[in-house]
Amino acid sequence: MSDYYIVSDVGGTRMRVAVFEVGSIAPSRHEVISTHSPGQTPLKRLLELIIKIQPTGGKLRAIAVAAPAVLDPRTGFIYDATNVQGWVNIPLADILTSEFNAPALVGNDANLAALGEWRFGAGKGHHDLIYLTVSTGIGGGVIMDDRLLLGSRGLATELGHITVEHEGPVCGCGQRGHLEAVASGPAMVNWVLEQRRNGVDSILPLQPVPTARDISWAAGQGDSLSREALVRTGRYVGRAVADFLHIFNPSIVIIGGGVSFSGPLFWDTLLQTARSSVMTPAYLDGLVITHAALGDDVGLMGAYTLASMTYPVELTEKRLDG
């Protein structure tokens, strides 16, 4: 048995754990369980799943966890993971290190998704990359000059939290008019419901409350309110992408998350808006705007990238020899 890394992607619904042998590009073992279960905390479930999956031979080089959280990536301390019960002010990296006697790293899920797409996905070969996920929330990760942007406390690239309508709806974060408040899945649903209540006709019912996926389906059926909702969302995201081009000047923008698969009406509007909103065409020179490639594996692949770059084989061996 080779030496190996253990990586995990913890979401609000499911947690995944995988083993990657040193130098491999696919996991040798992989488990998925629900994050929450009566009578057992998510932390306990994570620790037990790692114990269950850990190989008996070889040496554990490092553990890395992607978490949907505000956290300090330099210490692996989680301040708050809204959707994971009990993950408030917990020193997750320290806990993992003391349990498994190996270095441990914790990263924000959108940041690690950016790393994963850069190393293994749509962003391979690019040095300056933006990853934007449009889903229940809007998150982001940015790589500039082959390095993940973290900021002074590791809180950088909250790309969903830029103001796009300063009198707009209240965002999940409490501020008003953020991109997430007008262009996330729930924001799109809220807008549709509001139009319906104002008497706009649609094949979508008011009850049960439709999902972003329902809107995408109804748009495919020709429902004009749903079509308008997708165009409107594509325009918001497209304008934000143009702003991000001016801010980061990447060579690739990768868009993931459920809403990114809402179909051509959303996607084409996004592309057209982004391209027509740049201040000079130089920003489009060689630019790729594309879908995320890694799907549900993006968090695991990002965590593996983090672990294997932070504790590469050579470095680990030097440390052991020294």
Rounded distance between C-alpha atoms, residue 169 and residue 77, angstroms: 31
Q: Give helix 212-220 / helix 185-197 axis angle, nearest 10°.
A: 70
What's 209's DSSP letter? P
Rounded to a whole number of angstroms, the minimum distance from the CB of residue 322 to its own copies is 26
Rounded to a whole number of angstroms, the minimum distance from the CB of residue 3 to its own copies is 29
| Cβ-contact 76, 91 below 8 angstroms | yes
59 vs 153 by CB, closer to its own copies:
153
Rounded to a whole number of angstroms, the minimum distance from the CB of residue 116 to its own copies is 20
Rounded to a whole number of angstroms, the minimum distance from the CB of residue 76 to its own copies is 16
| Cβ-contact 282, 158 below 8 angstroms | no
30 vs 127 by CB, closer to its own copies:
127
The residues, any chain, with a CB within 8 Å of residue 245's CB and separated by 6 or more, are 253, 274, 278, 283, 287
98 vs 163 by CB, closer to its own copies:
163
| Cβ-contact 193, 206 below 8 angstroms | yes
127 vs 196 by CB, closer to its own copies:
127
102 vs 231 by CB, closer to its own copies:
231
Integer angstrom CA distances of residue 121 from 115, 118, 229: 9, 6, 29
17 vs 179 by CB, closer to its own copies:
179
Quick one: three-class SS letters along 273-288? HHHHCCCCHHHHCCCE
- Report the interface residues with its own copies, using CB under 8 A: 70, 79, 126-128, 144-145, 147, 149-159, 161-166, 171, 173-175, 178, 239-240, 242-243, 246-251, 277-280, 282-283, 285-286
Rounded to a whole number of angstroms, the minimum distance from the CB of residue 173 to its own copies is 4
Rounded to a whole number of angstroms, the minimum distance from the CB of residue 125 to its own copies is 12
| Cβ-contact 11, 3 below 8 angstroms | no
Q: Which residue reads 């918001």 in tokens?
A: 236
